[in-house]
Structure 1
Amino acid sequence: MSIYLDYNASAPIEPRVLECMIDIYQNYIGNADSRTHDYGDQARNIVENARKQVASLLGITSSEVFFTSGATESNNIAIQGLEAYAKESGRNHIITSSIEHKAVLETVKAMQHRGFEVDIVDPESSGRVDAKKILEKVKDNTLLVSLMHVNNETGIIQPVQELGTALEERNVFFHVDATQSCGKLVDELRSLKYTMLSFSAHKLRGPQGIGVLVLRKKNYKYPPAKAIMYGGQQEHGIRPGTIPVALVGGCGKACQIAELEYQSNEKKLRSIKKKLLELLDKSGITYSCNGDQNYCLDNTLNLCLHGVSSEALMISTKRYCSLSNGSACTSKSYSPSYVLMAMNIPVENIENSIRISWGPETDLEQFQIEFTNLLNVAKRLAQ
């Protein structure tokens, strides 16, 4: 079996998270919103405990945590949910970047079709969006700036700290997609100023199908985001539908583990990246890294192996390494990566680029063996 190197698409579930979920599935059968019996109380206690675990990781209050089906839904609520307020206030201008996840880009474009004014800012060649270019777009009717914390294709960390402080001073809502950073850049997230934040549990070794929308209170009031679906009043009316207790419990457990282990995990992630670059340098292959590595997450590398087709390489090395050449949400499309294109990387280089992402439990010895095998194949393909 190949070594799994596609963590940015989905990380394998943590065994302790799975054990927690199995226990809930087997022993806690109630609906968390049933208030007439002990089974409902037990389920509700699990949900509220998970809410506290998420809050503890992020350094917020548990009342600011809302469970959703994942970051895609959370992003949609954060953006679409402001529509009524925008109409009431006359603030209908949204700013985002051209390298956002499709869950943000497509939602913003849908808002544009509904009459919203939209500015989409391109990144620099470094893969980072210039915060000044975002702030230059802010005007009196600006409602929202939405920016990811870490890009899912390149691993490049965006200037959310600088933007958060500036946007708070200008009274502009700030939404951060923290899907790739949650559980990794813990200290930075805890100090970050934002209005709303999204993440999916499965990117930090929790279960698929569960995520979080954070709504930060200001002067004891939530931001004016409303539900975009109709049903019950679960999650204080923000997200209707029966709460999936085991998934929520798994999300909370993943956050608890991340809080306890993120510092030691960072060292493991960094050691793998160091080994990866050492193997590249020894291989003699001509390569370049897409994005400024001074601002790159320790578990990701977007790599161009010059003269080596990424499609041919991935097909030829499936038995060694499982990786990708872009976001999983666009994997059925073989068009060049829109993220790398926005960075003005030549199309030829984009077609020769792969994304490698790993986790703290990635075995360093196995990684060295299998990535060496991949590089040997790459050398043959480049001839």
Structure 2
Amino acid sequence: MTVYLDCNATTPLEPEVIDIMKKYLCDEFANAGSRTHEFGNIAKAAVEQAREKVGLVVGADKSDVIFTSGATEANNIAILGLEAFAVASEKMHIITTTIEHKAVLEPIAHLEQKGFDVTYLEPEPDGRISPLDLAAALRADTCLVSIMHVNNETGAIQPLSECVDVLKAHDAYFHVDAAQSYGKEVDVLKNPRIDLISCSAHKVYGPKGVGALINRRRKYKRVPLSPILFGGGQERGLRPGTLPVHQIAGFGVAAELALKHYKNRTVRCEQIKQDAMSALEVLSPNYHGQEYAIASTLNFSIEGVNSEAAIVALKGIIAVSNGSACTSSSYSPSHVLEAMKLTEDEVEGALRFSWCHLTETPNWSAVTTALSRLI
């Protein structure tokens, strides 16, 4: 049986998430915006309960939570939603990194085409951004700093606490794409200096198609975001559209379970990682960004092994990827690994193994045997 090792692309659903989704998909199916009858009120109550659970994971009030279709939409609202404020206040400088997900890089590139000035921070060899580089890049007209928490390709955990320290004396808004860390690396995201947090349910054992943008208050004022979609008053007018109650309820349960079990889940993921690295040792792999990586991700290359050939060789044993699922159809080299100054062979040979607490133990002997045949 093939073992799924592509959890950075999407995770399996927790059984309790499936149960609550069935309830609000089949039984309590009403529109949460229907205020004239009890069915709508039940749906609305489910949404508000989930809103509270999603906020609790990052220490935010439920009123800070805006439901979206996922982290990509949350990123777009956080970035493009600041355009009007930035222009009006003449603060049109943005700081981000070269290792961000395309859901951050592309909205920022859109603003760059419209006259914004963007500074792209380069990673260190360990795959992390230097807080000193952030400090050097800050300007009086910096409106937004957008730095991911955990890289989706390498698993490298960015030094957010140090970045927060750099930003304490500056009024720039701080946005964190936490798609890969929400419900896993919990404590740092509770820092109130992080103004905006993007997260996605399907990366934390919830359903695809729902996520959230956390918009915290700073001195009693929220980040002055403008909507990028129009057509309804839902989500405080910032994100219009009928709320998918069953997905939101599923997200709420996923968030609740994550907050309750993240420590035990991490222990399980660390054990899988240790087993993987022990097995791979005979192949002398080159690891990428693993010094400060999350417990559930391993990015590496083996000299002489092409990643596409390796993926084919591993079929029937494990299911893995060689990069972000969002750009896999383009077959372009990883911009993350290129930014880390890896060699062309390392970039072309890079494999990403990612797992979770629900992952069955792979046959590591079969994995190493299959890969050794390619050398």
TM (norm. structure 1) is 0.96
| Counterpart secondary structure, 2:218 | coil
Query: Does residue 338 of structure 1 match 2:335?
Result: yes
* Distance in 2 of aligned mates of 1:191 and 1:82: 21
| Counterpart secondary structure, 1:163 | helix
**1:218-297 matches, cutoff 5 A:** 218-281=218-281, 284-291=282-289, 293-297=290-294
Question: What root-mean-square deviation, in Å, do the aligned CA atoms of Structure 1 and Structure 2 show?
Answer: 1.0
Which residue does the alignment assign to 2:373?
A: 380
| Counterpart secondary structure, 2:63 | helix
* Distance in 2 of aligned mates of 1:41 and 1:137: 49
Which residue does the alignment assign to 2:164?
A: 164
Contact persistence 2:131–2:166 (CA under 8 A): no
* Distance in 2 of aligned mates of 1:258 and 1:166: 29
Which residue does the alignment assign to 2:135?
A: 135
Structure 1 counterpart of 2:89, one-letter code: S
**1:1-383 matches, cutoff 5 A:** 1-191=1-191, 193-281=193-281, 284-291=282-289, 293-364=290-361, 367=362, 369=363, 371-382=364-375
Q: Deviations over 1:64-115 (max 9, x none)?
A: 0110000000000000000110111000100100000000001100000111
Structure 1 counterpart of 2:374, one-letter code: L
Contact persistence 2:93–2:144 (CA under 8 A): yes
Contact persistence 1:279–1:372 (CA under 8 A): yes
| Counterpart secondary structure, 2:180 | coil
Contact persistence 1:81–1:227 (CA under 8 A): yes
* Distance in 1 of aligned mates of 2:300 and 2:153: 10
Structure 1 counterpart of 2:284, one-letter code: T
Unaligned runs of 5+ in 1: none
* Distance in 1 of aligned mates of 2:259 and 2:127: 28
| Counterpart secondary structure, 2:57 | helix
Alpha-carbon offset, residue 192 of structure 1: 5.9
* Distance in 2 of aligned mates of 1:335 and 1:259: 36
Contact persistence 1:164–1:192 (CA under 8 A): no
Structure 2 counterpart of 1:195, one-letter code: D
* Distance in 1 of aligned mates of 2:53 and 2:155: 26
Q: Deviations over 1:136-158 (max 9, x none)?
A: 11111100000100000000001
Structure 2 counterpart of 1:313, one-letter code: A
Structure 1 counterpart of 2:87, one-letter code: K
Alpha-carbon offset, residue 57 of structure 1: 1.4
* Distance in 2 of aligned mates of 1:191 and 1:228: 27
Alpha-carbon offset, residue 372 of structure 1: 2.0
TM (norm. structure 2) is 0.98
| Counterpart secondary structure, 1:152 | coil
Unaligned runs of 5+ in 2: none
* Distance in 2 of aligned mates of 1:29 and 1:276: 44
* Distance in 1 of aligned mates of 2:285 and 2:29: 54
Contact persistence 1:196–1:213 (CA under 8 A): yes
Q: How many pairs align?
A: 375
Structure 1 counterpart of 2:367, one-letter code: L
Contact persistence 2:204–2:254 (CA under 8 A): yes
In the TM superposition, structure 1's runs of 4+ consecutive aligned residues that sit over 6 Å from their partners are: none
* Distance in 1 of aligned mates of 2:244 and 2:60: 22
Q: Deviations over 1:302-329 (max 9, x none)?
A: 0111111110010121111100000011
Alpha-carbon offset, residue 131 of structure 1: 1.3
Structure 2 counterpart of 1:289, one-letter code: Y
* Distance in 1 of aligned mates of 2:332 and 2:366: 27
Contact persistence 1:157–1:297 (CA under 8 A): yes
* Distance in 2 of aligned mates of 1:202 and 1:190: 21
| Counterpart secondary structure, 1:332 | helix
Alpha-carbon offset, residue 256 of structure 1: 0.4
* Distance in 2 of aligned mates of 1:334 and 1:84: 36
* Distance in 2 of aligned mates of 1:29 and 1:333: 38
Alpha-carbon offset, residue 49 of structure 1: 0.1
Structure 1 counterpart of 2:207, one-letter code: P
* Distance in 2 of aligned mates of 1:324 and 1:193: 35
* Distance in 1 of aligned mates of 2:231 and 2:131: 39
Q: Deviations over 1:208-227 (max 9, x none)?
A: 00000000011221110111
| Counterpart secondary structure, 2:21 | helix
| Counterpart secondary structure, 1:72 | helix
* Distance in 2 of aligned mates of 1:285 and 1:29: 53
